[in-house]
A and B are shown apart, each in its own frame.
Chain A
Amino acid sequence: MKAFMSVVALIGAMGILLLAGMILEIVPSNTVRLVEGYMPMQILFELSLFVAGFTGLSYVLGTMGMPIPRFWQAIAFWSFILLYLKFRVYPPIPFSVRAMYGTVSLVAVFMWVSANEEDWKKFKQPIMNILDAQTGANKMLRYGYLVLLPILIGGFSYNSMVPKSEEPIELRTVHPAPPASTKVHGKTYTLQTSQNPFRVNAEGKYDQEYSNANIVEQGMGRLMKPNANPWDKDAQGYLKYVREGGEIFFQNCHFCHGDNLNGRGLHAFAFNPIPANFTDPGTIAQLQESFIFWRIAKGGIGLPNEGFPWASVMPPWEQHLTVDEIWKVILFEYWHTGYYPRTWD
């Protein structure tokens, strides 16, 4: 048991050292890489490992006769989580989300230290010692807090009230609700029921299963399926339309949305926010094709009132592309990213 806990404690110690290195910028944040596709679980796994490590560390120090008081365990664990979120995860997490996570972890720490009376007493002890002030040192500390706490609270209040020159925070709607129908080149399309006319099988009939079977493979390689190369001269039907959509994409869209469709085109960083990343599972993979059709046709300027603040420079492509060209480019986007359009059946 001791040997096992020592190994676990080693993990905890390594975690602390790694994080300290990242904070002091000795160790780059990406030393242990967050692997694309596995990142969400990787973070949870890392945190689980650290919790186990800290349990081991606490156990080992306890057996060595140097137990860490519960109060300091709680403070240290909460600080670790806050620092982990700030320095380990890259790109930086916006403050609003870190504040949410920080509050939840504070609640978690409280639940842990007060789950039973014994732990709660242990946790409270240092606080009670200072409040009771039975020794000279505690008395001094109590006076210190009496002065420091109001200053601290005053400082926070001042900081939150003082006028700032930063740009205001925006609550941008990522997926504005589409209208029930949209009119493009004189024809009305009902978004709930419209289908891509080029998503067809070899017989020329609408067939999503057929097209889904021919998209690139999801994952890191994004490989084309065998015998499903749109750039094959003999490609017909769906694959031919994908190729035509690709040509339209590279003539019009890739400057912003990028040649890998990840929103990092040549001009992307001239915009804020940068253009949509189609490889993200939160964009086109979540939407119906007809939604994409509406967004391409109408662009940023055509967003509804409830889509405010619009913050989109996407041109209304109906002024530059035909209806068929818009449908084809959508076909290409799904094919290239390896996603299926959302359906409601």
Chain B
Amino acid sequence: MGLVAGKKLFSIMALCAMIGLLLLPIAVSLPSLAMGADAPDAVKKDGEAKVEKGRDVYYKTEGIVVGAPAPKTVDGPRDYPRYNFESRVLLWFANQQHLYYGSFVLAVPIFCMVIEFMGVVTKDKTMAKRYDQLAHDFIKISLTAYSLTAVLGGILIFTFLTLYPAFFGYLSSIFRPVMHVYALMFVAESGTLYIYYYGWDKMTEGFLKWIHLSMSVVLNVIGTLLMFLANSWIGFMMSPAGVDEQGRYLGNIWHVIHTALWNPLNVHRILGNMAFGGGVVAAYAAYKFLASKTDEDRAHYDWMGYIAMALGVAFLIPLPFAGYWLMREVYAYRQQMGITLMGGLLAWLFIIQATMIGILFLSTNYYLWQALGRMRGAEKYQRYIKYLVFVLCCGYLVFITPHTIVMSPAELKAMGGQQHPVLGNYGVMSAKNGGINVIITTTILSFVWYMRGNKVSTVSWSKFGNIFMGVFFGCAYFNIIGLAVLGYYIPANVRVGLSVPQVATTLSCLFFMFALNSFMMKGAKQMGAIEWGKISARSQYALIMLATAFTWMMGLMGYIRSSVRLFWHVNEIMRDNSPWAYTHTVGFAANMISFNVLFFWVSILFVFWLGSLGIKKAPVEAKEGVLGGTPQPAGGH
């Protein structure tokens, strides 16, 4: 009894320590956040007469100038010291690797939190243990990756300092307090992660388990705040605020952080990290599945891959909408930037991005169709898959049709103009919104089929429910396609607004159909068991494809976001005067992204291997439940 009370006390103290760590950076930085306070002091030293005011380039407010103007760099060893090759390529590599690992270690604890929560709330003891073990395995992998993230962060900082001293000096002069808070947050994140991990076996049941779960919440709050702070730097580089036209800091740190693109970037990155993390873990499970020698292992990794995929896709579905919001804000901030991205210089990269998004959804659907194969009783759906393939691919074809077509002059002449009279219509936003919403709705339909694969509803209103669902999906397709067609006949600014009902239709399908299906399947008759591990190898390659596409797309979008500044370090404030202030060719960028992807996957395989050295075997009684098929994983059922 005394021991339990001691453990409880210890756990509460550990949780308090975590919250303390969370609040520490904020408490320490409070004086710094009130930056305006020490700024005038500095000015006062030179006398009242010298107070100079400037106008915020974004907020248009007046403030006292407290910073130096952005340096006007010149090409040479002082501002751009270098080796015998392009400095920015080295920076690109360091940055991208840090981002990959950063995203992974921020996403995995969120997964752990969700999976641990599922383990706590599930009534099935065997499943609870499996969830708990899975979450523990994940955090173990993340721990090894965490130290690598920190090392890569260090390399990134050194690369900035040694190759772009003038630019980094300017950035750090503005973000001085934020950078210190960031460093402290990193300490807090590390501390919290270690307490969370090493406290796992000490807090396994009852109240103690809830305390442990609360720790994961604190850990994720710190991780998310950490990312928001890092986002403020890139937000500032793209859409500066809090400085005047010369780049002089005006003393309001909130303006510098809260730039025009900060919020959409934050939302987009959270969702992106989660989808990416899900993809990486799913690929890990797929690799282990393919390498498994026993049915038991195959069953375990099949299940793990499914859970990771479901979590990843849950965040993938809203991701295009978050991306849409970000682009909308980019257009609102600078039309010029929006056109460069979507219709101009970088437009072809967006076509590649659309292609990658399509691959993500195609892989997901393909995996789900393959997964129907491990359910007895799901055969009734399989003969309709060809129609889903057709609908998906029609949406995909429209979605990837370029507005700016690559063609030879002879083809251009034969076509009679820059736009193809038929296909040119697919190249504009109205059609593309229709295309992506059709793809997502079809993915939702595949999920619904999967969720009811081996079940027959026993509710009295099941016939009505099925008809209702069929009509709902039919109307959804009609509405999405109808609005896409209507978009051609109305002004562009009204057309932009059509995306709202289209997205609302898709989301309605997601929420209403999932909810209705869950009600219909409550107490449903099982036609057969889910035979975990009895899934085709092709499905696992689909998971690997999903993860590779995520990684490639992250690299691509990072490049696009960075390139849109063109020849500016900080948009319209600090010019890039290095010899590399030009945009790379599409081919070079694609090769560089592929190299980054390859390096990441090779290095993360090493991390997985390291992680696997210390992974505990799941309890025997827990594994026995795996093949029985009775336990139903959450997320899908």
Contact = CB atoms under 8 A, between A and B. Distances in A.
Interface string B180-211: 00000000000000000000000000000000
A212 B413 CA distance: 34
A112 B386 contact: yes
A314 to B, nearest CB: 13
B344 A94 contact: no
A92 B415 contact: yes
A48 B481 CA distance: 14
B404 A174 contact: yes
B214 interface: no
Interface stretch (B13-21, B29-37, B331-339): B331-339
A170 B415 CA distance: 14
B304 to A, nearest CB: 22
A181 B422 CA distance: 34
Nearest to B386: A112
A51 B386 CA distance: 10
Interface string B425-465: 11110010000000000000000000000000000000000
Contacts of A212: 491
Contact of B425 (A40, A168, A177): A40
Contact of B382 (A116, A178, A339, A343): A116
Given A115-B369, A281-B425, A173 B345 contact: yes
Contact of B586 (A117, A171, A180, A339): A171
Contacts of B404: 171-174
Interface in A272-299: 272-274, 276-277, 280-283, 285-286, 288, 291
Interface stretch (A101-109, A147-155, A247-255): A101-109
Nearest to B342: A175
Interface string B404-428: 1111111111111111111111111
Contacts of A116: 369-370, 372-373, 379, 382, 385
A264 B411 CA distance: 17
A178 B339 contact: yes
A182 B392 CA distance: 44
A94 B421 CA distance: 12
Interface stretch (B38-46, B318-326, B395-403, B614-622): B395-403
Contact of A177 (B332, B336, B414, B415): B336
B588 interface: no
B408 A166 contact: yes
A92 B422 contact: no
Interface in A25-57: 34, 36-37, 39-41, 43-44, 47-48, 51, 55
Interface residues of B, number: 77
Contact of B410 (A89, A166, A173, A306): A166
A307 interface: yes
Contacts of A91: 414-416, 420-421
Interface string B348-372: 1000000100100010011001101
Contact of B406 (A169, A180, A191, A288): A169
Given A97-B402, A116-B382, A51 B390 contact: yes
B394 interface: yes
A192 B335 contact: yes
A93 B423 contact: yes
Contacts of A170: 406-409, 412
Interface centre among B355, B382, B416, B572 (most CB of A within 10 A): B416
Nearest to B365: A111
A218 interface: yes
A177 B418 CA distance: 17
A306 B491 contact: no
A94 B336 contact: no
Given A166-B408, A283-B419, A306 B426 contact: no
A272 B416 contact: no
B510 interface: no
A282 B428 contact: yes
Interface string A172-202: 1111111110000000000110000000000
A115 B410 CA distance: 41
A321 to B, nearest CB: 24
Given A116-B369, A286-B428, A344-B493, A39 B408 contact: no
Given A108-B389, A108-B393, A93 B420 contact: yes
Given A91-B421, A104-B396, A177-B340, A96 B406 contact: yes
B566 interface: yes
Given A100-B400, A288-B335, A344-B332, A94 B428 contact: no
A107 B392 CA distance: 11
A329 to B, nearest CB: 20
A340 interface: yes
B347 interface: yes
A12 interface: no
Contacts of B424: 280, 282
A4 interface: no
Given A167-B408, A178-B339, A282-B427, A173 B347 contact: yes
Given A40-B422, A51-B390, A100-B400, A306 B344 contact: yes
A343 B379 CA distance: 52
B492 interface: yes
Contacts of B583: 306
A166 B410 CA distance: 9
Contacts of A282: 403, 419, 424-425, 427-428
B173 to A, nearest CB: 26
Which of under 10, 10 to 19, 20 to 34, or 35 or more describes the interface residues of A?
Answer: 35 or more
Contacts, number: 212
Contacts of B481: 41
A177 B362 contact: no
Contacts of A203: none
A306 B566 contact: yes
B377 interface: no
A177 B423 contact: no
Contacts of A272: 409, 412-413
A55 B389 CA distance: 14
Given A40-B426, A166-B408, A345-B493, A92 B345 contact: no
A158 interface: no
B415 A94 contact: yes
A342 interface: yes
Contacts of B431: 40
Interface centre among B366, B423, B485 (most CB of A within 10 A): B423
Contacts of A174: 343-344, 347, 403-404, 418-419
B83 interface: no
Contacts of A277: 417, 419
A263 to B, nearest CB: 6
A97 B413 CA distance: 16
A52 B364 CA distance: 25
A180 B382 contact: no
B343 A286 contact: yes
B85 interface: no
Given A91-B414, A91-B415, A180-B334, A114 B492 contact: no
Contacts of B386: 55, 112, 115
A175 B408 CA distance: 19
Interface string A201-235: 00000000000100000100000000000000000
A95 interface: yes
A342 B491 contact: yes
Interface of A: 34, 36-37, 39-41, 43-44, 47-48, 51, 55, 89, 91-97, 100-101, 104-105, 107-108, 111-112, 114-117, 120, 166-180, 191-192, 212, 218, 263-264, 272-274, 276-277, 280-283, 285-286, 288, 291, 306-307, 339-340, 342-345
Q: What are the 7 A-B residue pairs with the smallest beta carbon separation, nearest first? A: A340-B491, A94-B407, A175-B343, A177-B340, A342-B492, A108-B393, A96-B406
Given A40-B431, A343-B492, 6 more contacts: A37-B488, A92-B411, A111-B362, A111-B389, A173-B404, A192-B334
